[in-house]
Amino acid sequence: MKKIATLAMIAGVAAVMLAPVHAGAESAQLRITGTIVPAACRPAFAGGGVVDYGTMPASSLNPTAQTTLAEKSTQLTLTCEAPALFAFKVVDERAATTVTSLETIPGYSPVMKFGLGAADGKNIGAYSMQITKSTPDQGATKLLLSGDNGASWLNANGGLVGDGGTIFAFAGSATGTVPAAHTSITADLRVVTAIDKGSNLPLTQKIALDGLSTFEVVYL
C-alpha cells in the first residue's frame, strides 16, 4: 500500500513536469479612437441681435385695426473656420403668442410669422423676417430651403418659417439649386412687425415687446 501511494505521487509529478508550457498565452489590445468634425460655423447678428422699436405711446396704436411698425433691418453673418457645407434653421421661442391673423410681409403665411410675447394674457402681435440679400466670401449665392432635412431643395424667396421644420442653405451661384460650401455668408435681414389692434391689448399698463427667435447652424 505504501509503495503504491509512493508510485502514484511520482507519476503525478512526472505528469506535471511533462505538461506543455504554451497554455494560457496573454494578449493586449490597442484601440484607435477620435472624431472628425466639420469646420465650426458660428452665426452672429450685428448690434448684438437686438431690433429695438424704442418707446411707443399707447395712443399711437390703432384701436380697431393692426398697427404696422416701421421696417427694421439687421445683418446675420455665418462664419466658418474653413469652407463648410452648412444650413441653418429658425426656431420661434415665442410661437405660442403669434397673432397669425395680422399682415406682416404681404403673402406670408401664418408659419412665417413669429410671436411678440404676451401682456396680461393677451398676445401682442407678430413679426416676419426676410433675407433680402446674401453675400458669400466669394462669388455669388442664392438662398435655398428644404422641408425634408436636405433631401430636396427649393428657392427660398426670402421667407423664414418659425417652427424649425425648414432648413435654409446657400447655393454656390446665383442660379444654383443645391447648397455649396462657404467660409462666410452675410445676409441682410428685413424685419416687419405688426401690433394687434389696441382694443385687444391692456393699454392701461406697460407692454414690452418680447420677440425671440433662435438661428441654429445645421451641418449637411
In the chain, the number of structural domains is 1
Is residue 9 a part of any domain in this protein?
no
* Averaged pLDDT for residues 72-95: 95
Do 70 and 209 form a contact (C-beta atoms < 8 A)? no
Burial of residue 43 (number of CB atoms within 10 Å: 0-12, 13-18, 19+) = middle
Is residue 30 a part of any domain in this protein?
no
Helix (H, G, I), strand (E, B) or coil at 12: helix
Looking at residue 123, which CATH number applies to its domain? 2.60.40
Q: Which of 27-41, 53-67, 103-117 has the lowest mean pLDDT?
A: 27-41
Is residue 65 a part of any domain in this protein?
yes
Residue 184: all three cell numbers together: 462666410
Owning domain of residue 89: 41-219
Is 50 exceeded by the pLDDT of residue 37? Answer: yes
Is 60 exceeded by the pLDDT of residue 162? Answer: yes
Is residue 214 a part of any domain in this protein?
yes
pTM (predicted TM-score): 0.83
d(CA 160, CA 214): 12
Is residue 79 a part of any domain in this protein?
yes
CA angle 176, 153, 184 (to 5 degrees): 55
Is residue 45 a part of any domain in this protein?
yes
What pLDDT digit, counting tens, does each position of 180-212 carry?
999 999 999 999 999 999 999 999 999 999 999
Is residue 70 a part of any domain in this protein?
yes
Residue 21: all three cell numbers together: 508550457
Sequence-separated (6 or more) residues with CB below 8 Å from residue 207: 58, 119, 124, 201
Is residue 14 a part of any domain in this protein?
no
Mapping DSSP onto H, E and C, the string for 70-134 reads CCEEEEEEEEEEEEECEEEEEEECCHHHCCCCCCCCCCCCHHHCEECCEECCEECEEEEEEEEEE
d(CA 70, CA 64): 19
